Structure 1
Amino acid sequence: MDKKDISELQYIHIEQDRDGIVFMDLQPTGAPVGSHYMERMSEFVEHALEQLEKAEVKGLIYCSPIMAGDFDPSYFLAASRQQIDIADQLQALFAKFMRLHAMHKPIVSILDTTSTDLRLASLLWADYRIALADATIGFPTSATGLFPGFGASSLLLHMLEPEKAIPFLYQGNILSALEALHLGLVQAQVANYEQAFALAKQQLLKPYAAAETQKTIPPQHATTDSLLGAMRRKSSGLIPADNLFFELVADNPTRGLEEMLQQERQAWASLWDKPETLNMLRTLYCSVNRASRRATEKVSSPIGKLGILGAGIMGSGIAYEAARAGIQVVLKDVDSAAAEHGKRYAKRLTDKLLEQRKIDQQQQDHLLARIYPTGDAADFLDSDMIIEAVFENQTLKANVTKESLPYLKPEGIFASNTTALPINKLAEVSPLPQRFIGMHFFSPVDRMPLVEIIRGKKTDERTLQQALRLAHQLGKVPIVVGDGPAFFTSRIFFNYLLEAVTMLLEGLPAELLEQEARQAGFAIGPLAVLDEISLKLMLQVYDSLPQLHPGQERCYRYLESLIVAGRNGRKTGAGFYNYNETTGKRAIWNDPSIAQKAVNDQSGTIQKRLLHVMALDSFRCLEEGVLQDVTDADIGSILGIGFPRHTGGVFSHIDQVGIKTFVNDCHAFAALGDEWHIPERLRQLAESDFRFYDGLESNWKGQL
């Protein structure tokens, strides 16, 4: 802009041109907003008010007063602990924002780089919003224990139709600038700042129109009720942010903007006193961000060419994710026809994206061109990395590994995608076991964010860093574990499913087990999970274990008997449920050979057993060296196997229950099976009332 009057402040840059247009943003050399959100935003708005009060000023262009990616939950948690009234601070801020619009001078905001969470909220107060083409836009913290605050929920519920506003606010999705334009979140998308300023100035010099923030979408009760019903059915009811957001949405059609802002600020401020908020933010925001950054901490070259062995569901999913990340992929199967079939998985996924206008035809063509299907291992020549993703059969994996290893680059690495087979054993076929590692992806790969990286005894540091780098390129959240029977996620999930079968054999009604699991916060019950994965696959996990204790052997024999009886799961039409192919409905099956007992579970014993059994075995994983870090366990348990999100994960669950109470509960279950054996070190920690976390930080410093 042409400078006429410039005010240089410590944190805020203000510039006015000869046409009376003011531009405001943070000083390029200013300190990060960091732990001063309220103060900096308040200061920013006060200076905006000062500028707009000038007679010669016709309008305002601004970038957010919060730096990209600058959200620190500790600020609000500390304020809550110090009994600082966050709601009152928000009320004062909202009052200043409303004064801005009462001045009837147009305001334009520019959404650049990473416009998310509080940064995005501050940009929604403008009358007109322009996004740079490379901007990423959304509220990712909606999936981590918060709902969009700082006025964002109220504003969007008033500015957009409910079918657009509600899912965007609730689901935590990140949009491109083009998607935000289609949604109506922004009014324009441009290539760069120069174009943004030109368009903004053009808008500001027009006659003033009613502000977008004051326009209200006519109430649409039926649509709102329908969306709310669907979300409530999927919600566990155990996450405070969800419940408060649902109340806000339900009240929206009957309230004006100012009333909504009052309700929103009280609800959002109240979240910081909830233990569930701390648990979720710690694991799903802080720990996940640290895990995602782990891949970039040490220098390692990116993967340019990736070979994938096996074009089944897993291999095809990994191929799609790699191609989407810009990696050249060679997808091999037994022949080119089978490999081509695997590539069609990427075609189906991109067809949906094309239909949703999330990509264009050229982007689809380029993505698909990066996947080369083949039946010839020689096409792996000069691969930076090869991932084996064939069936869970050790002999098969050994054969395809030996066939492909000669085509790796001299410094290339080999990874096995396996659920439970020991990496140390699989690595024996390689002449360079130091360059062999496990990478356990989760299905469906395009929707599951986690990858469990399994380090063998001989895996070297460079190989680990390359595996982490690939996870980073794919946009996955990595956890690093050591080798051991079924590793970490499969092992504790196995124990969860096993405990459900154990309780079934004790005579607890199947329907009650499923109901209690859902009430504990699991998305679906363990018996339904067993039917989905198939009982045969469950036995394959059993077979990977070095030995079984009596309770496991009993369950093994029972599952075998069900398979013999034709009850292998959903695909066979019968398992723990009966399935009707015509109607698509299912009904719980009660095994007539098991005498059911009447149960009055007022003490929540079923829920405790399902939650505690995974947490207890997670501690054993620490003792055995399978886990090095409790944060990896909490991330993996939630993102990998659906441990209830409100708990923050297995070790956060122990903290929330209280370690003494947890150990006493496990001791009370001791007669029910060997899975309830309590390690001596855990007893010692309970005696000292140890906590695995202090606020957002881990207390685990290798206490074993």
Structure 2
Amino acid sequence: MNKNLKYFHTEQNTQGIVLIHPSTTDSNTNELDQLEEFIAIALIFLGDPDIKGIIYRNPLSAKETDYKAMYTLASHSDIFEQRLSLLLSKIPDLQQHKPVISIVQNDCLGVSMAAALWGSRRIATREARIGFSESRYGLFPGFGATVLTSRLLDPEKAVPFLTQGTILTAVQAQEAGLIDQVVVDLTEALESAQQYILQNPLLKATMYPLPIHTEAFEASAAIIKKRSNGLIPGIDHCLQMIRDARELSLRDALIQETQHYTKVWNSPEALSMLRTQYYGIREAIRPDTSTGFELKKLGVIGAGMMGSGIAYEGARAGIDVVLKDVDLTQASKGKAYSEKICNKLVQQGIMTENAQQQLLGHIHPTDQMADLENTDLIIEAVFEDKVLKAEVTIESLPYLNEKGFFASNTTSLPISELASVSSKPENFIGMHFFSPVDRMALVEIIRGSKTSDDTLKKALQMTRQFGKIPIVVYDGPAFFTSRIFFNYLLEAITMLLEGIPANEIELQARLAGFAVGPLAVLDEISLSLMLHVYDQLPELHSSQKRCYNYLVKLVTAGRNGRKSGKGFYDYDSVTGKKTIWQDPEITKADHLPAGEQIRKRLLHVISLDSFRCLNEGVLQHPVDGDIGSVLGIGYAVHTGGVFGHIDQVGLPDFVNECQAFAEFGEQWEIPPALKQLADRNFSFYSGFDSNWK
């Protein structure tokens, strides 16, 4: 048979057991073609009375799903659905009469794991990692994965596993019920599989509907729906299939899954999320070894929350960190921050005590600037004050080694101006970390007017060494993420002053897909910090001045945010519970706008200013704006980011809607360049490719 096969090799032993495994390592091979050939081979062998069972390894030659190729296939929706339905309709035939055992190894994710579920039993080697990461990108597990998993697991386990992109170890998967046996290696897996086939020659698989625990399913589904607000089609279709998987026969459920799967692949949300959160991020973290730079000793000046977080991340990457503050007590508190994080990880079983000690051993608190001697990189993370930052820069620069560079962690201060105090401004760069640093993946790297290519490459390399995701922007007032974030907050305050109730603004922000409502965010960062940032801007337009004056009024009244116990919310001093506060001095609008208009204003105002950043050269590539907006400010994930949102709306409609909002302030002024693009019906992307040149 082997000479007639394109993708597979088969071996049959004297006991009537067949082993099927890929014969090609070509990662460009069409996955659907491979799976069609695999199932055809398997059914031929199962029809042979001399064959007792089948053992198969991952039938796909590629290590990971080629989403671009799958998108192309799925775009021909009728043909794709027909082929996939025909393929999946044959899965029940694999699970009847004779044992078919899959061997799960290494990273068995996505379609590879789906194929592993086709058999009647699964044996995993100890190092295997199992899951469906496509759920993170707007899709849901297809190729039978959702149906088969839903029939193996109880709904309360199946729902989060299938919708959240969770990756399990082999042991965790066995405990959940996805894996039947965990063994040491491939040799033991093959031996165990053969033994099982010989001891269990006949199967009695359930092909019919299974009972579903409705209350457990609805409770679990409600949690997921609350997080997504129905904005991510993959989640909605997946939840429907989890229910249907038990209420229909296996064959009918599998065919229905293909219908849902095809629809999701052809949704703009799936394309946008894949483009940003898979391909965009993968390109951003791609290593560049051309610098030959390796960060071994890091100096961090300022042991506040930001500096302490940077020190923790450096130590976690195995880098020696000197954490400097004005006194040793404060610097030691910075190290205690890392100890607190580690203690929690140890309690959760994520980190060993030995690993904790190793990590903490990398952090050296000090009040002596001389301890920064021979550092590869110094990051200053002191308060957002130009004079203070200049002082620590001048004092610490002599301690950099010959090839070292200096970075300022700032949210909005101009990098070129901060670099002016350095004798080597070409070795100066901005690195905007996000708080809390240990949980925020993004680092915004800001290139000053004199920053060299070599320094930029080193900063990118260091960011990747930290395990972070970098975007590169150019200098300008508040750079990119802070600038667009301020517009989000500005629009919320503008609407509040128009008489739109605070609770309605917060509700519509969440329904639009924002991670946190704008007024809640303002309370977290503190209103006085927002005022300080506005003070750093070269000038304010009238809408900004109006909001600035209102913030001054609230701060003067003691409403400075969470830390003061009240801001746009009131905070219970005992429980910490917050309740929205409605300013009694603001008259409620006679005619409240529809929720859709509020949502559009919040989304559009950020995207509009993002285009200004792109047009002005602060951004070089739309995908950087998309990554930065989603990871940095919690922009609606289903859009794929600020430019993905414009494409989903359509640029002509986007411009028309923004023009309709002109009465609300100068923030809605349309750049002439954007109007010209709208006249051409321009899209920032065609599929996965950028159209911006």
Question: Could you tell me the TM-score, scaled by structure 1's length?
Answer: 0.90
Q: What is the number of residues matched between the two proteins?
A: 693
2:618 and 2:273 map into 1 onto residues whose CA distance is 24
Aligned equivalent of 2:323, options 331, 335, 339? 331
Cα pair 1:155 1:213 within 8 Å, conserved = no
Residue 170 of structure 1: aligned partner: 163
**Superimposed CA distance per residue, residues 506-542 of structure 1 (whole angstroms, 9 cap, x where no aligned partner):** 2222222222222222233211221122111211221
2-structure distance, mates of 1:282, 1:565: 46
Instruction: Name the counterpart of 2:622.
Output: 630
Identity among equivalent pairs (%): 49
Residue of 63, 66, 69 corresponding to 2:57: 63
Cα RMSD for the two superposed structures: 2.9
Deviation for aligned residue 1:558: 0.9
Cα distance in 2 for partners of 1:366, 1:658 equals 52
Counterpart of 1:46 in structure 2 is: 40
Matches within 5 A, 1:492-503: 492-503=484-495
How far apart are residue 213 of structure 1 and its match? 8.9
Does 1:509 pair with 2:501? yes
Partners in 1 of 2:567 and 2:138 — Cα distance?
A: 35
User: Do 1:159 and 1:216's aligned partners in 2 also have CA atoms closer than 8 Å?
Assistant: no
Per-residue CA deviation, residues 617-638 of structure 1 (Å, 9 max, x unaligned), is 1111112210000111111111
Letter in 2 for 1:650: V
Partner Cα separation in structure 2 for residue 173 and residue 43 of structure 1: 29
Task: Give the drift of 1:501.
Answer: 0.8
Report the Cα distance in structure 2 between the residues aligned to 1:636 and 1:222, rounded to whole angstroms.
Answer: 39
Residues of 2 paired with 1:405 and 1:180: CA distance? 51
Q: Secondary structure at the match of 2:95?
A: helix
Match status 1:443 vs 2:435: yes
Q: Which residue of 1 aligns with 2:19?
A: 23
Which residue matches 1:264? Answer: 257
Match of 1:107 in 2: 101
Structure 1 equivalent of residue 346 of structure 2 = 354
**2:259 aligns to what SS in structure 1?**
helix
* 2:84/2:258 contact within 8 Å kept: yes
Contact 1:456 1:483 in 2 (8 A): yes
In 2, distance between residues paired with 1:392 and 1:192? 54
- 1:274 maps to which of 263, 267, 286: 267
Q: Which of 214, 222, 226 in structure 2 is aligned with 1:233?
A: 226
Residue 27 (structure 2) aligns with: 32
Residue matched to 1:222: 215
| 1:160 maps to which of 136, 153, 156 | 153
CA contact (8 A) 1:329 1:372 kept: yes
Per-residue deviation, 1:547: 1.0
Measure the CA separation in 1 of the matches of 2:479 and 2:623.
16
How far has the Cα of 1:215 moved from its partner? Answer: 12
Q: Does 1:286 align with 2:279?
A: yes
Q: Per-residue deviation at 1:13?
A: 2.9
DSSP 3-state at the match of 2:225: helix
CA distance in 1 between counterparts of 2:264 and 2:173 reads: 28
In structure 1, the residue corresponding to 2:142 is in which secondary structure? coil
* CA distance 1:337–1:97, shift in 2 (3 Å): farther
Asked if the contact 1:137–1:174 (Cα under 8 Å) also holds between the matched residues in 2, the reply is yes
Residues 203 and 514 of structure 1: is their aligned pair in 2 closer, same or farther, counting only changes over 3 Å?
A: same
- Counterpart in the other structure of 1:549: 541
Residue by residue over 1:623-673, the C-alpha shift from the partner in whole angstroms, topping out at 9 and shown as x without a partner, is: 221000011111111111111112221112222222122222222222322
Is the aligned partner of 1:657 residue 2:649? yes
1:648 maps to what in 2? 640
Q: Which moved more, 1:253-262 or 1:494-503?
A: 253-262
AA matched with 2:583: D
* 1:14 correspondence with 2:6: no
1:158 counterpart letter in structure 2: R
User: Does the CA contact (< 8 Å) of 1:416 and 1:439 recur in 2?
Assistant: yes
Q: Counterpart of 1:145? A: 138
Question: For residue 465 of structure 2, what is the amino acid of its counterpart?
Answer: Q
For 1:149 and 1:290, locate their aligned partners in 2 and report how far apart those are by CA, in whole Å: 25
Tell me, in whole angstroms, the C-alpha distance in 2 between the residues paired with 1:217 and 1:363. 45
Match of 2:448 in 1: 456
**Counterparts of 1:580 and 1:605 in 2: how far apart (Å)?**
33
Contact 1:159 / 1:212 at 8 angstroms: preserved in 2? no
Residue among 490, 493, 498 paired with 2:482: 490
Q: Structure 1 residue 320: deviation in Å?
A: 3.0
Q: Closer, same or farther in 2 for the Cα pair 1:533/1:562, shift >3 Å?
A: same
* Aligned residues of 1:132 and 1:196 also touching (Cα < 8 A): yes
Which residue identity lines up with residue 12 of structure 1 in the other structure?
F
Q: Is the 8 A contact 1:321 1:446 kept in 2?
A: yes
Measured in 2, the distance between the counterparts of 1:11 and 1:215 equals 33
Please, which moves more after superposition, 369-378 or 530-539? 369-378
SS at match of 2:272: helix
Relative to 1, partners in 2 of residues 1:105 and 1:647: Cα closer, same or farther, differing over 3 Å? Answer: same
Structure 2 SS opposite 1:604: helix
Does residue 124 of structure 1 match 2:117? yes
Q: In the TM superposition, what is the alpha-carbon distance from 1:94 to its structure 2 partner?
A: 1.7
Q: Equivalents in 1 of 2:18, 2:101: separation in Å?
A: 10
Shift of residue 288 of structure 1? Answer: 2.0
Instruction: String of CA shifts for 1:312-332, please: whole Å, max 9, x gaps.
Output: 322333333333333343333
Residue range with higher mean Cα deviation, 416-425 or 221-230: 221-230
C-alpha distance in structure 2 between counterparts of 1:189 and 1:151, whole Å: 23
Q: Cα–Cα, structure 1 residues 331 and 17, in superposed 2: closer, same or farther, change >3 Å?
A: farther
CA–CA distance in structure 1, aligned partners of residues 538 and 681 of structure 2: 34
- Please state if 1:686 is matched with 2:666: no
Task: Decide whether the 8 Å contact of 1:306 with 1:328 is kept in 2.
Answer: yes
User: Residue 307 of structure 1 corresponds to which residue in structure 2?
Assistant: 299
- The whole-number CA distance in structure 2 between the counterparts of 1:429 and 1:680 is 37
Closer/same/farther in 2, CA of residues 142 and 123 from structure 1, 3 Å limit: same
The equivalent residue for 1:478 is: 470
* Alignment partners' CA distance in 1, 2:17 and 2:438: 46
Partner of residue 411, structure 2: 419
Residue 591 of structure 1, CA deviation:
1.7
Q: In the aligned structure 1, how far is the partner of 2:499 from the partner of 2:126? A: 60
Q: Which one-letter code corresponds to 2:27 in the other structure? A: P
Q: Structure 1 CA distance, aligned partners of 2:388 and 2:242? A: 53
Match of 1:84 among 78, 83, 91: 78
- On the 8 A contact 1:68/1:119 being kept in 2, the answer is no
Deviates more, 1:47-56 or 1:492-501: 47-56
Distance 1:281 1:357 in 2: 32
Q: In structure 2, what is the Cα distance between the partners aligned to 1:486 and 1:465?
A: 22
- How far is 1:142 from its partner? 0.9
Letter in 1 for 2:139: L
Tell me what 2:556 maps to.
Answer: 564
- Opposite residue 284 of structure 1, the aligned amino acid is Q
Deviates more, 1:397-406 or 1:689-698: 397-406
Contact 2:208–2:248 (CA under 8 A) maintained in structure 1 = no
